[in-house]
Amino acid sequence: MYNTTLNRAGSGLAPIILLVDDDQDILQGLGNTLTRAGYKVVTASDGQEALDVFNNIFPSIVILDLMIPVKDGMEVCREIRKKCDVPILMLTARDDSIDKILGLELGADDYVTKPFDSREVVARIRAILRRTSRKIPGTSMVFDGG
């Protein structure tokens, strides 16, 4: 497992990304890109390892492949959603509409298909984290129509 210094989200330190994929080239290549972009990256190469790591570090965002061994990405997404609403970006070769719909309905915040442009992935992560960092627990927005 590739590991960097672990910092909690919201601590003023670099956000932690849990990158889950069984392709070592993606773990290393995208992991390096994300590290250069200022993130702390922790990786997992199967679904059970992803859940174990998730429970130990509580990342700022999860980047999740669907086709991973032990537990697939859909199951990992389901289990994470039972616990919390951490942002999840699915990054997968499965590009059928039904897979995208299912992933988003299970709780993914975004869905990117392989092959991908790492700059786009970084931009999507920034957008998701920008949106989610503005949330204040226990508050909601109310719009007065009149």
When divided into structural domains, the chain yields a total of 1
How much is the pLDDT for 13?
83
Q: For residue 47, what is the domain's CATH number?
A: 3.40.50.2300
- Residue 37 pLDDT level (bands cut at 50, 70, 90): very high
Cα–Cα distance, 27 to 139 (Å, whole number):
36
pLDDT digits (tens, 9 = 90+) for 54-86: 999 999 999 999 999 999 999 999 999 999 999
The yes-or-no verdict on residue 5 having pLDDT over 50 is: no
146 is a domain residue? no
Domain that holds residue 20: 16-133
How much is the pLDDT for 102?
92
Residue 41 backbone dihedrals phi, psi, to 5 degrees: -120, 130
How large is the average pLDDT for residues 105-113? 95
Q: CA dihedral in degrees (101, 104, 110, 112; nearest 10)? A: -40
Whole-prediction pTM: 0.83
